[in-house]
Structure 1
Amino acid sequence: MKNETMAYLVYLDDNDASEKVVCPPFQKKAPSNFVVLGFCRGFILFHRRPHFLVVWNPLTGSSKRISYSHIVHRSKPPGPRIGYDVYLHGFGYDASQDDYLLLVAWCDCEGQYHLDCFSLRTNSWVNLDAAVPKHLGIQLLGFRYWHSGGLFFNGAVHWVPWDLKDYRDAIIIFDLMEMTFSTISAPEQLSCSSPSLAQLGGCLALYSRNDDCRNTDIWVMKEYKVHSSWTLYQIPCKDFRPLCLSSNRDIIGRGYTSCGKTGYFIYNVRGDLLKHFNSLCCQLPCRERNNVYTESLLPLPSDIKDKDNKKKMKEIGHQVDHEYFEQPDVAKG
């Protein structure tokens, strides 16, 4: 049976574009469907059926497979599949511990909600006793109200509700260093009801199709957690997903226009179309997941730990050898 799940790396700059198909390590051994869940510092997080997560660095080839079967066995049936169902999840980096963390919010068979965290450094799951913002109550963990995939930005994972008109103060933040929740308020002038989150030029951004169904509104928070810094940009593209900024600080994204153009586009902040790339894999449906990936030679913490353990074992072995050869001389004395 042919596997139609594909992953692409698309390289874009101000003047050129190219692409290549990438093959995750598990595809080489046993082809299967997978979903890209997130990205962080050169690592990509995949979901692989039935209940596995894979962290992978395409540049170095290092990877780590993580099972979340403990959640499946204890959760309300049918067991959740992260990335397919509506349970909250996130992937980020804790600089204080030099550790990559996976977050999963889920509901057990008794209707109790949990927030679990997997540490790549310790290679273990722990249950977090983090206090949910009181004014959100159960709505935070009533998963159907939220985009399940969180955005890692500024040391925290961010989630946004489907309808900010009803929950305008409910951009949820989970700080990976402090292990605490907080919130950010959306701009009062927001006219769209179902926004998504992005990171643009080192700033947090909200974007969604405008109510006129012809433009995409992009709200950029120029200063993090400073409400007055929300700034609006309007892109004349019917369904536009901003991905990053070009070297000229123009907005690169993927979408389709009202006149039928599909692909990757570059717009300036005034909404003028500067470039359209239409010869890439972007001809796939716009609903396909897009993540911004930056190449990195960073190793996984588990790789560092394994190397340290091997080095320690070599040092112990050298010490044993030394003692073995020196001991007879002592005995002779």
Structure 2
Amino acid sequence: MDVIVSFDLMESKLIEMPLPNNFDQEIRMASGLSVLGELLSFWAMDYDNNRVEIWVMKEYKVNLSWTKTLVLPLDHAITNPYFNPICSTKNGDIIVTSRGTRLVKYNDKGHVIGHHSFCHSPSEVIMYTESLISLPGDNDQVYGGDTN
């Protein structure tokens, strides 16, 4: 069974979280994780049904809170391996990278409302959010438990 493994900074331990209950793992050909808004997001390409499903975890670490928020048509705008949702707007639009050379904006119904090509060779685009959380240093105990 596929799971998401995360590191809880507050408790300094690894946590396993299952994928959405209603997600059909047999249809997944390509998938990934991102953060949309402030929510953990999981996307998966479904080539059998010619679409991409995007799920968000509305309550962190609560498996039943996974909600399918968007289904995008698998068309000329979306291709693997360079598809990645990178951010969402307050009104539910999302921006994804596609082909490593395009940004595509979808509304909350899954329709393309804008796109922009930004170069001729594949690139990676990521979102950065500044944080005041300090990560443990080399001498700090990270995983808990006995160090002997």
Query: Is 2:30 the counterpart of 1:212?
Result: no
**Would the alpha carbon gap of residues 183 and 255 (structure 1) be closer, same or farther in structure 2, given more than 3 Å must change?**
same
User: Comparing both structures, which one devotes a greater share of its residues to helix?
Assistant: 1
Cα deviation, 1:118-162, whole Å, max 9, x if unaligned, reads xxxxxxxxxxxxxxxxxxxxxxxxxxxxxxxxxxxxxxxxxxxxx
User: Comparing both structures, which one devotes a greater share of its residues to strand?
Assistant: 2
Query: Is 2:7 the counterpart of 1:177?
Result: no
Deviation at 1:182, TM superposition (A): 1.6
Give the equivalent residue in structure 1 for 2:71.
234
Query: Is 2:132 the counterpart of 1:289?
Result: no
Deviation at 1:200, TM superposition (A): 0.3
Q: Which of 90, 111, 122 matches 1:272?
A: 111
State the percentage of identical aligned residues: 34
Cα deviation, 1:76-112, whole Å, max 9, x if unaligned, reads xxxxxxxxxxxxxxxxxxxxxxxxxxxxxxxxxxxxx
Deviation at 1:175, TM superposition (A): 1.3
Give the Cα–Cα distance (whole angstroms) in 1 for the partners of residues 64 and 16 of structure 2.
Answer: 15
**Would the alpha carbon gap of residues 243 and 187 (structure 1) be closer, same or farther in structure 2, given more than 3 Å must change?**
same
Deviation at 1:180, TM superposition (A): 1.1
Give runs of aligned pairs for residues 1-333 of structure 1, distance below 5 A. 167-168=1-2, 170-191=3-24, 192-212=28-48, 214-232=50-68, 233-237=70-74, 238-239=78-79, 240-256=83-99, 263-278=102-117, 280-281=118-119, 283-285=120-122, 288-294=123-129
* SS across alignment from 1:223: coil
| Runs of 5+ unmatched residues, structure 1 | 1-166, 257-261, 302-333
* SS across alignment from 2:125: coil
Cα deviation, 1:2-55, whole Å, max 9, x if unaligned, reads xxxxxxxxxxxxxxxxxxxxxxxxxxxxxxxxxxxxxxxxxxxxxxxxxxxxxx
- Contact preservation (8 Å) 2:52, 2:71: yes
CA RMSD of aligned residues (A): 2.7
| Runs of 5+ unmatched residues, structure 2 | 136-148
Deviation at 1:234, TM superposition (A): 0.9
* SS across alignment from 1:242: strand
Cα deviation, 1:279-306, whole Å, max 9, x if unaligned, reads x23x432xx4331124x6x8x99xxxxx
Give the Cα–Cα distance (whole angstroms) in 1 for the partners of residues 66 and 45 of structure 2.
Answer: 17
Amino acid of the residue matched to residue 4 of structure 2?
Answer: I
TM-score, length basis structure 2 = 0.69
Give the equivalent residue in structure 1 for 2:144.
none
* SS across alignment from 2:64: helix
Larger radius of gyration: 1
- The total of aligned residue pairs comes to 123
Amino acid of the residue matched to residue 292 of structure 1?
Answer: M
Give the Cα–Cα distance (whole angstroms) in 1 for the partners of residues 92 and 64 of structure 2.
Answer: 22
